[in-house]
Structure 1
Amino acid sequence: MTVADSPLAWWRRQGLRFRLTVVAAAVLALALAVSASVLVTVLDRALIDTVDESTRQQAQTVRVHADAGTLTTPITTNDGTIVQVVDAGGRITHVTYGADRLVPLLAAAARERVLREGGEATFLDGRPYAIPGPLRVVVVRADRGQTVIAARPVAEIQMSLATAGRVLLIGTPLLIVLLAAASWVIIGRTLRPITALRRGAAEITHTARSRRLPVPESKDEVHSLATTLNDMLARLEEAEQRQRALVSDASHELRSPLASIRLQLEVALGHPEGQDWRETAEGVLEDTMRLSKLAEDLLALARLDERGGVPARTEPVDLDQVTRQIADRYGDVRLTACEPLVVSGDALDLSRVLTNLIDNAVRHATSTIEVALTGDGTLTVTDDGPGVPEEDRERVFNRFTRLDSGRGRDEGGAGLGLAIVRETVRAHGGTVHLEDASPGLRVVVWLPRG
């Protein structure tokens, strides 16, 4: 037998509804079987104990009369108990009506054994004594060597127990089948919302981006699952829209420098005799640098998206040293404060954050650019340029977002610098926002201390 043909593999191939129904029916069958067994056993023990107690009481009553010498023949009992009184010589002296007067129910050796064991009741076959079925026999010792033997038939009890067993044997399977059918229906109704979810998911295609899965009215686990899946679809739809927007904006940004390079080369090749090739090379180099910068920014964003908001490395970074090194590259940047600060993250990513902020400040500043780092994790870059209107201070962090003033500059970027800054700062557990510097703009970055 191969693994694919094993019972376990067959079981795994079955549907959830079938497996739940079978498991429920099996557990129910086991519980009912154990319950029926316990019921019959307890009922048997209780009935036998009742018979034993009644028989012992009758034997004790006869013993009292035997000790007092007031026994009459025949002995009268009100519950059908058979009583024999045997004297010290082994002869039967008194009996109940219909009892054997010649042969004791228990021989002398058997009577002594029962008495030694504490007088507990014992079973005895009544057929040799013309009594159908078994008997429960109790032996009690009386005065003057007498012994009282009391017995009571238990055939009716055994017949009642046998009848109860047959009823349970027939009724239990019927009950299991009934409850299995009910479980099949109930489980089917319970799984119906999951079937609706599956059908809804099957209807969602790449062209139906705005579709959502049906959410059941009941506030249960399936409702939570549907809500979670719809949230996931919304996030996927948002990510897809962002990717489409990124491709569209990137294509638009690439078109301009490529067209410029093509135009300059076509003009130069069409009129080589009157062309300043150095000027052409410088123009092509400038557009090529724009393409290179755009490619680097797109690659940085792609890596940030791929890491899911987690830094590439997590190591102690002396942010004050990084700030001094980058500020020294710019001659017109004034470092007003640089307190010692260690943060946890990636030094290259944090360097890119400060570089992008200073590049933006240099691009828009009139005369002054200030950089400050304080020990509480706050990094600020301030310029005295035109600033950003308050209603646009959140929008400028979106990808490929440039204000009208930025679009009019030939040296302007593609609108990815601040987007890279925010994604990188968030990956390091920090925040970034814009403030009015009166005049100019102040970018405030906060990073948690390492």
Structure 2
Amino acid sequence: MRAPRTRSLSLRTRLLLIGVTGVAIALLVGGAGFYQALTVSTDRTLDREALTSANEVALLVDEGRLPEALPTTGSQLVQVVDAQERVIAASLGADRLVPVLTPVQLQRALTGEAVVVDGARIGSSGPLRVRAIPAGPATAPVRVIVAVQVGDVLAARSALRTGLLVVFPAVLLVMAVVAWVVMGRTLRPVEQLRAGAERIGADGIGVGRTAGGPGAPGVRADPDARLPVPAAADEIRALALTLNGMLDRLSAARERQRTFVADAAHELRSPLASMRVQLEVAARLGEGGDLPAELTPELARLSALVEDLLLLARSGADAPVPPHPEPVAVGPLLADVAADVPGRAGVRVEALPPDGDPTVLADPAELRRVLVNLTSNAVRHAGSRVDLDAVVAPDGRVVLRVTDDGPGIGATDRVRVFERFARLDDARSRDAGGTGLGLPIVAELVARAGGEIVLTDGPDGGLRALVTLPAPG
């Protein structure tokens, strides 16, 4: 089911549409009501004056003393018509030969209806509003007709309609502009809350907008960052305080979790080291048969897992950033890592000399751990070779590249592999050679260094890891 189109509009736009629509309806109803009320009031006034004049003339007819010129009010035209439709008396300016109304129109007027005619019948220059009443004795009945020129009235009404049609849209436009500005200022704290929430990353890893696509880890968030609290004592301030309280509780829970993992990993190091020594001694003395040889690799993997957990706990989002990173020469470091990372049968690790002498600003031990983890991961999945090299980006930063010719990783999984203990369904799923924490550690350490990491396709297939780090100065 498709969502309504208005849901894609911003809150500011929706509020403006609602407000403008409401005001437009109010103006339309109010304007129509005002115009109708003014029209009815004007017509009633004209009819009342016409009937007053008609009754005065009817009284003169009943008294048998019709003057030569019948009395009128304003621009009225008055005629007295007999049963044969002949004009027997008229006011000054009224036609004394042709009645204002035709017989059919006269019958309508005698029923109490106000009849509007164009006036052409009597040579009038504009429309006339006509009322008529019966008068005289039953033996000699007559009709008193009073016509009022309404050309000016109709012109005024037309001007009023035009004015309303012009003024109302102008009022709506001005109101919309004012409302847009006012709502923008009113909703500014909400936008500040949204921007603040966007800046607060989860677990110290933000969103990197790089070649790896949305969601690539690498932008370090401030774990102590909180949403801005508006000064006004309104609902938005209450919302900001509530959300900040929630962030405080989440931060405290994350700190408790980090402390627990660090303490547990630290406490496990000594027993595991002792067990490993005992197994090595037993294997050297030939005790326990093949059991020491079988358990020693598993114990080594468990020890590596504990060390990784401890490192993650110590380098999490709330761990301090190294206060004094050092300039690190990239070329020697790549060669050193390529020489130290153990390969496997049929897989060669090679460090390609970079152009120039690029240098990055980072903690040497942590940067080495990043490259060792990436290279070890590449060795486990490579087909025949793993290459390490570096290039200088156009913005001056240095990009370290670890490339293998293995099966690669699907684009949809290139962010998920940085999650702890992530499992993939393809050939690069976590195997017995890894702890499932290598890439999460890489992401943490790269973020601590102020860099970013992205996974892309290799130039000849496989996977390429791009670690972008700042250069000194």
Q: TM-score, normalised by structure 2?
A: 0.52
Partner of 1:76, secondary structure, is coil
Q: Which has the larger radius of gyration?
A: 1
User: Structure 1 residue 272: deviation in Å?
Assistant: 7.2
1:34 corresponds to 2:26: no
Q: 2:143 aligns with which of 139, 142, 147?
A: 147
Higher relative contact order (CA 8 A, sep 6+): 2
2:25 and 2:105 map into 1 onto residues whose CA distance is 42
Q: Corresponding residue for 1:107?
A: 102
2:188 and 2:105 map into 1 onto residues whose CA distance is 70
Q: Corresponding residue for 2:65?
A: 70
Q: Corresponding residue for 1:80?
A: 75
User: Structure 1 residue 242: deviation in Å?
Assistant: 1.6
Partner of 1:139, secondary structure, is strand
1:246 corresponds to 2:260: yes
Q: Tell which deviates more after alignment, 251-260 or 193-202.
A: 251-260
Q: Tell which deviates more after alignment, 96-105 or 20-29.
A: 20-29
Preserved CA contact (<8 Å) 2:100 2:121: no
AA of the residue aligned to 2:154: Q
For residues 67-122 of structure 1, give each alpha carbon's deviation from its aligned partner in whole angstroms, at most 9, with x where no partner exists: 1223212012232321111223433222111111111112334323432xx32221
User: Structure 1 residue 248: deviation in Å?
Assistant: 1.6
Partner of 2:245, secondary structure, is helix
Partner of 1:244, secondary structure, is helix
1:210 corresponds to 2:224: yes
Partner of 1:120, secondary structure, is coil
User: Structure 1 residue 14: deviation in Å?
Assistant: 4.6
Q: Corresponding residue for 1:97?
A: 92
1:124 corresponds to 2:78: no
Q: 1:190 aligns with which of 182, 186, 189?
A: 186
User: Structure 1 residue 215: deviation in Å?
Assistant: 0.8
Q: Tell which deviates more after alignment, 15-24 or 52-61.
A: 15-24
2:104 and 2:196 map into 1 onto residues whose CA distance is 85
Instruction: Describe how 1:286-365 pairs up with structure 2 within 5 A.
Output: none
Q: 1:150 to 1:268 in 2, by over 3 A?
A: same
1:55 and 1:186 map into 2 onto residues whose CA distance is 53
Partner of 1:132, secondary structure, is coil
Q: Corresponding residue for 2:246?
A: 232
Q: Which has the higher helix share?
A: 1
Q: Corresponding residue for 1:169?
A: 165
1:211 and 1:264 map into 2 onto residues whose CA distance is 48
Partner of 2:85, secondary structure, is coil
Partner of 1:148, secondary structure, is strand
AA of the residue aligned to 1:146: V
For residues 162-186 of structure 1, give each alpha carbon's deviation from its aligned partner in whole angstroms, at most 9, with x where no partner exists: 1112222222222122111101111
Q: Corresponding residue for 1:57?
A: 52
1:199 and 1:106 map into 2 onto residues whose CA distance is 77
Aligned length: 272
Q: Corresponding residue for 2:237?
A: 223
2:179 and 2:232 map into 1 onto residues whose CA distance is 19
Partner of 2:117, secondary structure, is strand
User: Structure 1 residue 127: deviation in Å?
Assistant: 2.5
User: Structure 1 residue 56: deviation in Å?
Assistant: 1.1
AA of the residue aligned to 2:15: L
Preserved CA contact (<8 Å) 2:127 2:149: yes
Q: 2:40 aligns with which of 21, 37, 45?
A: 45
For residues 19-67 of structure 1, give each alpha carbon's deviation from its aligned partner in whole angstroms, at most 9, with x where no partner exists: 4334433443343233323322221122112111111111112112211
1:151 and 1:220 map into 2 onto residues whose CA distance is 65
Partner of 1:93, secondary structure, is strand
AA of the residue aligned to 1:238: A
Question: Structure 1: which 4+ aligned runs deviate by more than 6 Å?
Answer: none
Partner of 1:229, secondary structure, is helix
Unaligned runs of 5+ in 1: 278-290, 292-450
2:83 and 2:163 map into 1 onto residues whose CA distance is 49
AA of the residue aligned to 1:104: P
AA of the residue aligned to 2:28: A
1:41 and 1:59 map into 2 onto residues whose CA distance is 26
Q: 1:32 to 1:101 in 2, by over 3 A?
A: same
1:88 and 1:28 map into 2 onto residues whose CA distance is 56
Q: What fraction of aligned residue pairs are identical, expressed as a percent?
A: 40
1:16 and 1:110 map into 2 onto residues whose CA distance is 60
Preserved CA contact (<8 Å) 2:229 2:240: yes
